[in-house]
């Protein structure tokens, strides 16, 4: 088996891997780097020129796993493209909106990079996706396969439609033919969230485990329990509403947004917060919520009866006067972007709220240090009245609002990542999708607890034999 990392190997950026197993070439994920624009955001697809690509598998619809698919498909038009059914539905919404956003960013001057694909391309491509159920054997043998290659999707727990990919084939080894059993976790969560149950994994032993390491350098994540975070989050919302303030909850449109709405619904039903509290949402996260609801009987759910659309929501007011009216009453605003990126709704609302101590800004996901969200968290930690720049044009403003980060991750924390190694007992672990410090921590711990397991930290563009 040969393996090549096409994505950045020292950060949580674009995910993209090439694997050759028993003569069949596969690309696992085709992500785009969310911090870059244009060609710089793409994986180095030219490295595929001399390699076979029979199939492309997209594990879930996050931009850093799906975003570059249209570009990849132009390069390997003969390859078949596979994903779960919910991911295919999400791709039909997210790729066109990515095309629109790229064009808009170039036109408004926020980037000089040309869009890497347009609307026409993504519309044409969507007919080519092959959508599959979980737990079904798929024959992915390629043109030059030396033996049949079987794949199987496992529920990954991370966001709607997310799967881990299991591959199995017989390969010639130094001591004759042997069965190779490979699993790519992609982004995964062992534990349930508010909507999504925890992930499922293949039975041991495995040959090779491609393991995500997003939270590998985050000691705090393993110390918090979901139950305690949920309670603290509910109490924080209740506190803000009780003093007549409003709470902004910046979210990622796919996953965190729907999970947060499910939590708010729970808080209302349990009278943690007043049932009549208005909840404002907007744009894409509503469309995505519709796909959550539509697929609730075909993909794993904690409660298939629950519908995100049943959580009463109002469209966020479009005009300043109507927004002023909305802010006069205590309310909750669940809007993207999750990191308060400039020129997004959450950023504009944060600018309105941070100056007043009655309001709250509550993060329910990760905010990078150099993002406006990260800067706001840092300023708030220094005490009331500390200045923050949320928008370069608006300039610095003082922070008096309550600003807290809650930990509701859709990723396995680092003890759980070790637990995955324990569960699947791989002979080799390949660490992907995480910062260098995260990978080092996982490598040290796996090598300490499982001395028979080999741990590899691949470099981008350097092929390894597994």
Binding site for Zn ion (CB under 5 A): 62, 187
Rg (CA), the chain: 22
Owner of token pair 């001399």: 50
- Is the C-alpha dihedral spanning 366, 419, 161, 4 positive or negative? positive
Least distance between Zn ion and beta carbon 65 (Å): 6
Cis peptide before 179 (omega within 30 of 0): no
Residue 315 C-beta: closest distance to Zn ion, Å: 27
Structure token digits, residue 89: 């539905």
Work out how close the CB of 64 gets to Zn ion at its nearest, in angstroms, rounded to a whole number.
Answer: 7
Give the sign of the dihedral formed by CA 380, CA 382, CA 387, CA 392. Answer: negative
Decide whether 60 or 82 has the Cβ nearer to Zn ion: 60
Q: How far is the CB of 187 from Zn ion (least distance, A)?
A: 4
Residues 175, 155 contacting (CB under 8 angstroms) = no
∠ CA(408), CA(411), CA(417), 5° rounding? 130
Whose Cβ is closer to Zn ion: residue 62's or residue 439's?
Answer: 62
Question: Nearest distance from residue 46's CB to Zn ion, in Å?
Answer: 25
Q: Which helix (H) or strand (E) holds 422?
A: helix 414-424
The distance of closest approach from Cβ of residue 162 to Zn ion in the complex, given in angstroms and rounded to an integer, is 7
Least spacing, CB of residue 410 vs Zn ion, in Å: 7
3-state SS record for 165-188: EEEEEEEEECCEEEEEEEEECCCC
Tell me the DSSP string of 225-268.
-HHHHHHHHHHHHHHHHHTT--EEEE--TTTHHHHHHHHHHHHH
Comparing CB distances to Zn ion, the nearer of 62 and 359 is: 62
Nearest-CA neighbor of 8 among 40, 37, 56?
A: 40
Nearer to Zn ion, 23 or 365 (CB): 365
């Amino acid at each position: 088996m040969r393996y090549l990392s096409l994505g950045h190997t020292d950060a949580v950026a674009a995910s993209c891997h090439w694997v050759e197993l028993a003569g069949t070439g596969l690309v696992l994920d085709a992500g785009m780097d969310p911090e870059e624009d244009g060609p710089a955001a793409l994986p180095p697809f030219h490295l595929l020129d001399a390699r076979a690509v029979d199939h492309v598998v997209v594990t879930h619809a996050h931009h850093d796993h799906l975003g570059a698919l249209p570009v990849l498909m132009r390069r390997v038009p003969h390859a078949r493209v596979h994903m779960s059914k919910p991911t295919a539905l999400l791709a039909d919404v997210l790729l066109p909106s990515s095309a629109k956003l790229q064009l808009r960013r170039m036109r408004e001057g926020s980037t000089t990079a040309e869009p890497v694909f347009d609307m026409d391309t993504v519309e044409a491509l969507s007919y080519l996706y092959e959508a599959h159920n979980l737990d079904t054997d798929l024959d992915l043998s390629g043109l030059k396969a030396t033996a049949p290659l079987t794949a199987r999707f496992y529920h990954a727990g991370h966001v709607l439609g997310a799967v881990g990919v299991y591959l199995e084939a017989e390969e010639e080894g130094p001591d004759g033919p042997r069965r190779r059993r490979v699993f790519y976790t992609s982004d995964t969560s062992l534990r349930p969230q508010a909507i999504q149950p925890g992930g499922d994994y293949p039975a041991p032993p495995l040959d090779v485990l491609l393991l995500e390491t997003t939270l590998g350098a985050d000691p705090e994540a393993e110390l918090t329990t979901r139950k305690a975070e949920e309670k603290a989050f509910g109490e924080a919302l209740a506190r803000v509403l009780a003093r007549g303030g409003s709470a902004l909850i910046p979210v990622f449109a796919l996953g965190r947004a729907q999970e947060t709405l499910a939590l708010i619904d729970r808080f209302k039903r349990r009278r943690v917060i007043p049932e009549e509290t208005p909840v404002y949402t907007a744009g894409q996260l509503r469309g995505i919520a519709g796909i959550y609801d539509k697929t609730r009987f075909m993909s794993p759910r904690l409660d298939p009866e629950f519908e995100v659309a049943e959580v009463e929501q109002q469209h966020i007011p479009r005009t300043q006067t109507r927004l002023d009216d909305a802010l006069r009453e205590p309310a909750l605003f669940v809007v993207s972007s999750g990191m308060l990126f400039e020129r997004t709704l959450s950023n504009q609302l944060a600018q309105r709220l941070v100056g007043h101590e009655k309001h709250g800004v509550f993060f329910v996901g990760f905010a990078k240090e150099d993002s406006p969200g990260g800067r706001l968290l840092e300023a708030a930690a220094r005490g009331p009245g500390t200045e923050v720049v949320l928008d370069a044009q608006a300039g610095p403003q003082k922070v008096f609002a309550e600003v807290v980060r809650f930990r509701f991750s859709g990723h396995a924390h680092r003890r759980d990542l070790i637990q995955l190694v324990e569960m699947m007992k791989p002979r080799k672990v390949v660490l992907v999708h995480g910062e260098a410090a995260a990978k080092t921590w996982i490598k040290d711990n796996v090598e300490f607890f499982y001395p028979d397991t080999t741990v590899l930290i691949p470099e981008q563009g350097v092929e390894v034999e597994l």
